[in-house]
Amino acid sequence: MSLTRAERFARLRLARTDRIGPVAFRQLLDRFGSAGRAVDALPDLIRKGGGDYALPSTDRIEDEIAAGDRIGAQWIVLGDADYPELLAAVDPPPPVLWARGDVALTARPCIAIVGARIASAGGQRIARGLAQQLGEAGHVVVSGLARGIDGAAHTGALPTGTVAVLGGGVDDVYPPDNADLYAQIVGQGCIVSESPVGHRAQAKDFPRRNRIISGLSRGVVVVEAEIRSGSLITARLAAEQGRDVFAVPGSPLDPRARGPNELLRQGAILCEGLDDIEREFGRARAVREPPPDNPFEGAPDALDDALIERVAALLSPVPTPRDELARAANAPIGAVAAALLELSLSGRATLLPGGMASL
């Protein structure tokens, strides 16, 4: 059943509210059954928790939608038919995506190619050639539109379709010297971001961008990367999401080979070409699914303040599973989940994937 425009609008509004990240967003949907009901309940929850923030105005959300319309972008919320299926399986998925170009590409089998920004000529040739081969074999290549390996991968896959995931809004061309490539991807591929249109990328946006790159993809190929790099973060996120991690080996004399070589030591799949990827994908394996249960089942409509304080006292900086907190509080899991959600909205708890929480 498709979402109504009012529910889609409420999901976008909820996603743009301070202190509501992907985990809290998903839990608010579970707790109240819809974003519309969550939006209605949120002002009371914020006041109860002593919060100093509020829902964004409807005018602000309409302005964001209008800004997207002006550049021909499409907004997609979790629950829409166009929302990428693989990304929806991430725990938790991004609540909202903006897209320019052919959104249908995100529904096809995708594989990411990432690597060093200051890449060698040989590394760029490998990325470009592998992307071309993957595209001709029916895959859509996903990357981050950065200099070096990302740009080479997009270029190789342009004729068959490529997806670029940005840290800023879908109109934020970064780096600026990739403006021509950006325009080609808008015409022949797809640009994706979870940031509002007009948002300029900041350092904190790139880990979220990397999580979407891996989340859209069946696997991630790392071509060149130093030990401390965003590409290795993408590889780690892919492994956490249950996706395959491939690494192209390199010379130990080149510091850009240290990242892929370290991934191989940790169990990544050796990638010397298309055959290595196709062979691995030929082994039937299911992508990890998020937990299907609703943690708020049986939770009361109104929580006892004493229970909220009891749960708050049990939190520590170390992430703790929700069921352990429920056991220690001698309370039903549904009530503890609701207490944790209220504590997070008041800034007293941090909700984490997998039913974890911390101070």
Count of C-beta atoms within a 10 Å radius of residue 306: 8
Number of domains within the chain: 2
pLDDT band at 322 (very low <50, low <70, confident <90, very high): confident
Token pair of 99 as six digits: 């897209």
Q: Cα(317)–Cα(192) distance, rounded to whole angstroms?
A: 34
- Residues 219, 128, single domain; the answer is yes
Residue-wise pLDDT tens digits, 272-308: 999 999 999 887 554 555 555 678 876 777 777 788 8
What's 175's domain CATH number?
A: 3.40.50.450
Domain of residue 313, residue span = 305-358
Q: Is residue 73 part of a domain?
A: no
pLDDT of residue 285: 54
Of 60, 56, 3, nearest to 29 by C-alpha is 3
Of 250, 286, 252, nearest to 268 by C-alpha is 250
Of 79, 92, 87, nearest to 33 by C-alpha is 79
Q: Is the dihedral of CA 323, 327, 332, 336 positive or negative?
A: negative
Which range (40-49, 60-69, 75-84, 110-119) has the least confidence?
40-49
- Residues 112, 147, single domain; the answer is yes
pLDDT of residue 310: 85
Q: Are 192 and 215 in contact (CB under 8 A)?
A: no
| pTM across the whole model | 0.88
Q: Are 30 and 294 in contact (CB under 8 A)?
A: yes
Of 338, 278, 274, 285, nearest to 307 by C-alpha is 338
Q: Are 318 and 350 in contact (CB under 8 A)?
A: no
Q: Is residue 10 part of a domain?
A: no
Percent pLDDT > 90 in the chain is 65
